[in-house]
């Protein structure tokens, strides 16, 4: 796959690590193997952010998901620098627990609640993006039910900020396609400037057809790099 270049050459991607992160190495591997980008691991207790062009907040169980998923991680020292990076228009992708951290940090609207079934769900799902493209990617979460009030939902719908919706193969956003009870079948959303993306499916786990039968995640990661 063609490497996406920034003004300084290969994009400088930082992957933030928290106690309990378990998808950070998957993200590092995906950028390395498929985009020839050697991501920098960033420990959550750091108080300074090195020069980076994009940030990844990976999935896992930061701080053991105590209190609420992402609630403690949102107050880690490095997150203050992440907020400054976001205010400058820096692109950020938060995957699963990373999405939860972004909502807890108020960098994205809404909240991630316990799944309607009250059970942890780990399976392959189909989602479609705002352009109608469909992707097959895995989910693995206990608190993935996206919620926001009706007024806010109307606002992100009008602004085209719903990044992904759970759907059936073919594109129908039915109740049966919704694994966790998310409002409007939402699986991912953008910030107002669309530089920040949060999503519950794991694109880094769908980069090789030998692993789960889908490489659709590469398109999601490539689109993220294109925002640099």
CA–CA distances in Å: residue 109 to residues 5, 65, 198: 30, 20, 10
DSSP state of 90: -
Contacts (Cβ under 8 Å, ≥6 apart) of 118: none
Tokens of 219: 């398109």
Q: Is the dihedral of CA 157, 162, 166, 172 positive or negative?
A: positive
* Separation between Cα atoms, residue 101 and residue 135, nearest integer Å: 24
End-to-end CA distance of the chain: 17
* Helix/strand/coil percent split, the chain, to 5: 30, 25, 45
Could you tell me which residues are beta bridge partners of residue 123?
139
> What SS3 class is residue 70?
coil
Residues acting as catalytic residues:
96, 202, 204
């Amino acid at each position: 796959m063609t490497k996406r270049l920034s003004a300084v050459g290969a994009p400088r991607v930082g992957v933030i690590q928290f106690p309990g992160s378990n998808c950070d190495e998957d993200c590092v591997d995906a950028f390395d193997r498929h985009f020839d980008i050697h991501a920098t691991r960033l420990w959550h207790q750091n108080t300074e952010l090195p020069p980076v062009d994009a940030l990844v907040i990976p999935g896992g169980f930061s701080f053991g998901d105590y209190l609420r998923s992402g609630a403690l991680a949102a107050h880690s020292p490095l997150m203050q620098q992440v907020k400054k990076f976001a205010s400058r228009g820096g692109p950020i992708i938060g995957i699963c627990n990373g999405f939860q951290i972004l909502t807890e940090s108020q960098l994205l609207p809404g909240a991630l609640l316990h799944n309607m079934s009250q059970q942890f769900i780990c399976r392959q799902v189909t989602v479609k993006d705002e352009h109608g493209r469909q992707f097959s990617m895995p989910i693995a979460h206990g608190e993935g039910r996206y919620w926001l009030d009706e007024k806010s939902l109307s606002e992100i719908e009008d602004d085209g900020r719903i990044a992904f919706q759970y759907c059936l193969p073919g594109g129908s956003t039915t109740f049966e396609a919704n694994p966790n009870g998310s409002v409007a079948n939402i699986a991912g959303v953008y910030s107002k400037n669309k530089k920040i993306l949060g999503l519950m499916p794991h694109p880094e786990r769908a980069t090789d057809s030998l692993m789960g039968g889908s490489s659709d995640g590469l398109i999601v990661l490539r689109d993220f790099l294109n925002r640099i």
